[in-house]
Amino acid sequence: MFIKKIFFVGLGGAGQRHLRIFRDLLPEDTQFSAYRSTGKTPLLNSDFTVNSDTTLKKHYDLRMFNSIERGLENGPDLIVISTPSSLHLETAQKAADRGINIFVEKPFSHNLEGFDLFKDTVLKQEVSFFLSFQRRFHAYIKKVKKIIESGSLGKIISASFNVASYVPDWHQYEDYLQLYACRQGLGGGVLLTEIHEIDLCYWFFGLPAYVYCAGGNYSDVHLDVEDTAHSTLKYEDFSVQINLCFMQKHNRRDFFIAGTKGYAAWDTKGNILTVVDYEKEKENVLSDPDYSNDAMFYSQASYFLNEFKLSNKSYLDAAYASHAIVEAAKESMKKGIEIKL
């Protein structure tokens, strides 16, 4: 994809990571510009510690605009949106209206209101739309996708995905209670914040037929969003369990996919992938403990810049599917029943 001008809206932790990586991958003469509504987040290093030696503007040689409209009027080839989730769609729609290519930090928005109009605009204006589901680009998770597609696991019987983290430890430079993840009005809650595993289920298995979810604000911190959610995605002849929590001090991220011919299991602790073939009585274990989160983001950005095609509408489908599952899960939590998609 040819990019001469790139415009960033939102430069918190996620936005700065995208900025740093695009700056590394794009030619030196690329014009980088940005709009920041608050400018609260300082310049961050790659490990998310604060860099007090200079400013964000100077470090990345940014041209700053005092409004989104001014930035769009500058005619960027690409807009990168990393504001709080509830603000994504409004900016994305403005960019689509102007025929500007769009890269959005996950999730796409806080709900599906306005999605149909946005999709129609993207297709009519023939612009690229990409959603940052970088876990699709993890080296071992990509292998699991190919293993499932090959049929070597046999018929899928069940799968489970687990994510647990402790949001007060995420960003030491800011008050976690002000994070979008912890505020309903900004599109927070663990279902949207940890939507990656929901997307992986869609990527691996497609859209489920039914969703059941139990969860809520279970910690002793009184948030207006769910900090814990246990979802069951029911497919035609198997089901998937997704357990999410971002107020748990014992961190974990793993999944286990069982088939009639074998299983695939991945654990972020040690970055270990285990694949077992029952028929061949063979176990293959891969481990790369030094694999970094940045590797996924670099792989994703490289794919977007060098391989992603304008005609690829799969991320529009992914945006819809992941949100449809989240909205069904929220409705299920509220009503106590399974929801048909």
DSSP secondary structure string, 39-66? --S--B-TTS-B--SS-HHHHHTPEE-S
Task: Give the position of tokens 């246990």.
Answer: 230
* Domain 5-132 of CATH type 3.40.50.720: yes
CB-based contact 323:115 (threshold 8 Å): yes
CB-based contact 305:1 (threshold 8 Å): yes
Task: Give the position of tokens 């983290």.
Answer: 165
Q: How far apart are the first and last CA of the chain?
A: 35
**How far is it, in rounded angstroms, from Cα 62 to Cα 32?**
5
Q: Where in the chain is the domain with CATH 3.40.50.720?
A: 5-132
Q: Where in the chain is the domain with CATH 3.30.360.10?
A: 137-340
CB-based contact 268:110 (threshold 8 Å): no
Long-range contacts of residues 196-199, Cβ cutoff 8 Å, at least 24 apart: 196/106, 196/133, 196/134, 196/135, 196/163, 197/135, 197/161, 197/163, 197/242, 197/244, 197/255, 198/231, 198/242, 198/322, 198/325, 198/326, 199/106, 199/133, 199/135, 199/136, 199/318, 199/321, 199/322
CB-based contact 7:34 (threshold 8 Å): yes
- In angstroms, the Cα distances linking 92 to 50, 69, 306 are 29, 12, 22
Q: Is the omega angle on the peptide bond into residue 168 within 30 degrees of 0, that is, cis?
A: no
Tens digit of pLDDT at every position of the chain (341 positions) = 889 999 999 999 999 999 999 999 999 999 999 999 988 899 999 999 999 999 999 999 999 999 999 999 999 999 999 999 999 999 999 999 999 999 999 999 999 999 999 999 999 999 999 999 999 999 999 999 999 999 999 999 999 999 999 999 998 888 999 999 999 999 999 999 999 999 999 999 999 999 999 999 999 999 999 999 999 999 999 999 999 999 999 999 999 999 999 999 999 999 999 999 999 999 999 999 999 999 999 999 999 999 998 878 999 999 999 999 999 999 999 999 999 99
CATH of 137-340, one of 3.30.360.10, 3.90.1170.50, 3.40.50.720, 3.50.50.60: 3.30.360.10
Note the residue count of the chain. Answer: 341
Diameter of the chain measured on Cα atoms:
63
- In angstroms, the Cα distances linking 241 to 66, 72, 141, 231, 341 are 45, 42, 18, 6, 17
**How far is it, in rounded angstroms, from Cα 315 to Cα 118?**
13
